[in-house]
């Protein structure tokens, strides 16, 4: 039985010249291990770089009849997640436990949001895999920390979060295909 998985990982050039999604095929690692491993990728401006992913998504196998579902190389897999992200700065309160187990409550701001998650700025004390509570006005929801910015990089004190209740529209965004 083959337990290998394919992952799309988001890598950013350490020189701040953009990011890209790269496909890792036939990997035995779990998603958390993929996030904790530095990967090689080619920056168009600076050549080969090695960085930790900002995000990783497991690829869901598609039927073999769909040729677009099986990219042949990392070059063909530089895709964004299918979910639309909105650049919005929204003030939120984040509550959780820091990497030492101490409870904290802190103000943060969203950098971008989607129906299922967000990228927040202003939180530097958490690690991927932790659960945090996010409050916005009278709304609150629990989120899983997917990635955190590496110290000494432009993404320090940032984190990517994914809502643990996928049916909850925490940010109040319209459903896909619905125009406001």
Residue 114: give its domain's CATH number. Answer: 2.40.10.220
pLDDT at 41: 81
Same domain, 100 and 158: yes
Model pTM greater than 0.85?
no
State the residue for tokens 């709304």.
139
> And the tokens for 146?
């997917």
> And the tokens for 79?
């895709």
CA distances from 64 to 58, 61, 67 (A): 17, 9, 7
Instruction: Pick the more confident residue, 58 or 157.
Output: 157
Q: Are 104 and 116 in contact (CB under 8 A)?
A: no
pLDDT at 76: 35
| Highest mean predicted confidence (pLDDT) among 115-119, 140-144, 166-170 | 140-144
Same domain, 108 and 155: yes
Same domain, 55 and 95: no
Nearby residues of 118 by Cβ (< 8 Å), 6 or more positions away: 110, 111, 112, 134, 143, 160, 161, 171
Residue 176 inside a domain? The answer is no
Whether the CA torsion 6, 64, 85, 137 is positive or negative: it is: negative
Please give the tally of structural domains in the chain: 2
Nearby residues of 141 by Cβ (< 8 Å), 6 or more positions away: 133, 134, 163, 164, 165, 168, 170
Please state, rounded to an integer, the average pLDDT across all residues of the chain: 78
- What are 36-45's contacts with CB under 8 Å, separation 24+? 36/128, 39/9, 39/11, 41/11, 41/74, 43/13, 43/15, 43/17, 43/18, 44/17, 45/13, 45/15, 45/17
- Supply the range of the domain harboring residue 120: 86-163
24-80 pLDDT, tens digit per residue, is 888 888 888 888 888 888 877 778 888 888 777 776 654 444 444 334 333 333 444
Residue 115 inside a domain? The answer is yes
Residue 99 inside a domain? The answer is yes
Residue 71 inside a domain? The answer is no
Residue 13 inside a domain? The answer is yes
């Amino acid at each position: 039985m083959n337990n290998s998985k394919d992952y799309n990982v988001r890598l950013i050039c350490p020189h701040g010249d953009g990011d890209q999604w790269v496909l890792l095929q036939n990997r035995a690692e779990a998603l958390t291990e993929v996030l904790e491993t530095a990967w090689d990728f080619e920056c168009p401006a600076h050549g080969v770089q090695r960085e930790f992913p900002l995000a990783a998504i497991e690829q869901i196998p598609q039927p073999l009849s769909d040729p677009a579902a099986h990219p042949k190389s990392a070059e063909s897999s530089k895709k964004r997640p299918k979910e639309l992200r909105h650049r919005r700065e929204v003030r939120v309160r984040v509550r959780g436990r820091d990497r030492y187990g101490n409870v904290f409550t802190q103000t943060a701001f969203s950098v971008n949001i989607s129906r299922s998650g967000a990228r927040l700025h202003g939180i530097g004390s958490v690690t991927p895999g932790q659960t945090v509570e996010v409050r916005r006005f009278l709304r609150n929801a629990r989120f899983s920390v997917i990635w955190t910015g590496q110290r000494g990089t432009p993404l320090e004190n940032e984190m990517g979060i994914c809502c643990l209740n996928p049916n909850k529209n925490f940010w109040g965004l319209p459903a896909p295909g619905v125009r406001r």
